[in-house]
Amino acid sequence: MSIKRYFTWFIFNDLFGNQELDCIMNCKIKVILLTLGGCLFLASCARPLQPEYAGLKEIHISRISGGEATVYAKVDFYNPNNFSGRITSADISLMLNDKVFTHYKLDSTILIGKLSNFEVPVAVPIRLQDLAGNALLYLLKKNLSLRAEGFIRIKKSLFGYRIPVEYNESFSSSQLDSLIGSIR
């Protein structure tokens, strides 16, 4: 035992008794544990990464009336985060050849597992007039680019994060023909 420690023990033991010294040591341990716990808590609250786009599937068109159609599809994504969570809302503009042609808002909750694939069911209204204009561009350019821009809200435990999303996909004429062929 060092001289400094001995005198500290002796003074505290003499003045306060052994109980006070135990209380001070316990308080130090509590402070250290709380500090470490707080650091771990803050490290676990890292901002989530944007889900990775994996493709479209099961596309079908229905409810064609009054110059509008509703397109239904399932969009595949991969969650690159090492935690599970919930997508609670989405507000995304869809652009075809850099022209906004529809808007998508998620109105349900989607559970996502950590480091796994998940599907988002999508139903978007499309004006047939906009679709016809893009079909003319397709005939002239022989390719189309689909871009999605907006925000999603991911909830992880008690915390919610608003994450910007941007996805781009180009379709060549052969890819577009096969995609159109899969539409029911």
121-170: per-residue pLDDT in tens?
888 888 877 666 666 666 666 677 888 899 999 998 788 889 998 988 88
- Same domain? For 152 and 121 the reply is yes
pLDDT at 65: 79
Is the pLDDT score of 174 beyond 70? no
**Domain ranges, residue 169:** 52-181
Confidence of residue 95 (pLDDT cuts 50, 70, 90): confident
What's the pLDDT at 67?
80
**Claim: this prediction has a pTM higher than 0.75:** no
Q: In this predicted structure, what is the pLDDT of residue 2?
A: 62
Is 163 found in the same domain as 93? yes
Q: What is the mean pLDDT of residues 101-109?
A: 87
SS3 annotation, the chain: CCHHHHHHHHHHHHHHCHHHHHHHHHHHHHHHHHHHHHHHHHHHCCCCCCCEEEEEEEEEEEEEECCEEEEEEEEEEECCCCCCEEEEEEEEEEEECCEEEEEEEECCCEEECCCCEEEEEEEEEEEHHHHHHHHHHHHHHCEEEEEEEEEEEEEECCEEEEEEEEEEEEEEHHHHHHHHHCCC
Q: Are residues 101 and 160 in the same domain?
A: yes
Mean pLDDT confidence for 109-124: 91
CATH code, domain carrying 104: 2.60.40.10
Q: Are residues 115 and 154 in the same domain?
A: yes
Question: How many domains does one find in the chain?
Answer: 2
As beta bridge partners, residue 151 has 91, 164
Q: Is the pLDDT of residue 13 over 70?
A: no
Q: Is the separation of the CB atoms in 104 and 124 below 8 Å?
A: yes
Higher pLDDT, 46 or 157: 157
So what's the pLDDT on residue 105?
A: 92
